[in-house]
Amino acid sequence: MNNFDLSGQHAVITGGAQGLGFAMARRMVASGAGVTLWDMDGALLERARAELGPQARTVTVDVTDWAMVERATTETEAAGGPISIVVNSAGIAGPAAPLDTYDIATWKKIIDVNLHGTFHVCRAIVPGMKARNYGRIVNIASIAGKEGNPNASAYSASKAAVIGMTKSLGKELAAFDIAVNCITPATAETRILEQLTPEFIEYMRSRIPRGRFLEVEEAASMVAWLVSKENSFTTAAVFDLSGGRATY
C-alpha cells in the first residue's frame, strides 16, 4: 500500500460509518490524519470510532438538514481543529423503477440526500478553507451519473448533478490551494446494494468489463491521493473507478 502523508490534516467524511466512507476514513487514519465521521446512524458511528481508534471522532448528522450541518461544522472544528479535507460519501440508491412510475417522494429524497446533502456540506466548510487558503474536497458521484442506469433515474440524475457541481466549485476555487474533484465508481460491495433487487445487482455486475464489483479499499486508495498535498494541480476533475465500464 502506498502511503500519502496526511499528518496534521483534519478530514470530515460524510456517510463515514460504513461502506466507502469508512474505508476512506480507515485509510486516512493510517496516513496520519485526524478524522471526524458524519453519519445519521449513531450506533454505527460508535462502532466505527471504536475500530478507528483515538484519531477518530463522530458527529450524528443528517446532511439534508442545513442547520444541522452548520452546527456539526462548528462542533467538529471546536473538537478537532480546522477542517482541511472533506469527502462527501453520504448517499442512497433508492429502489429500481421506471421513471414514469417512480414514487415522487422517493425521487425527492434521493435528490435531497445525494445532491442537496453534498451542497450543504460544501457550503458550510468551503468558507473556512478559503480563509486558510487550503483544502481538499472529494465528492462521491457514480458511473451512473455519466452513463445513466435504467430504472435508476433519480440516482443517475443526482450523481450527474454532483459531477456538474464539482466542476463548478473546482473552477470557483481554482485561485486557492483548494482542490475539488469527484470519483465515479462502479457498483461496490456495500450496504447500498440492500436497496436493490438481485436482478438489478446482477445487471450492474454484467456492465463491468472486469467482471466484479469495486472493492472499497480500491476507492480509498484513489481518494487518499486526491486529498493529499501531492494533488496540488488537479481540480474540477472526474476520476473513474468503473472497471472499464466508462465510455467517456
d(CA 208, CA 66): 36
Give the Å distances, CA to CA, from 203 to 59, 72, 116, 199: 36, 38, 28, 6
d(CA 117, CA 17): 16
d(CA 75, CA 15): 17
Residue 140 neighbours by CB distance under 10 Å: 27
Active site residues: 155
Cα torsion angle, 25, 28, 32, 33, sign: negative
Could you report how far apart the first and last alpha carbons of the chain are, in Å? Answer: 28
Give the Å distances, CA to CA, from 159 to 40, 51, 64, 162, 194: 20, 30, 15, 5, 19
Q: Which amino acid is at 166?
A: T
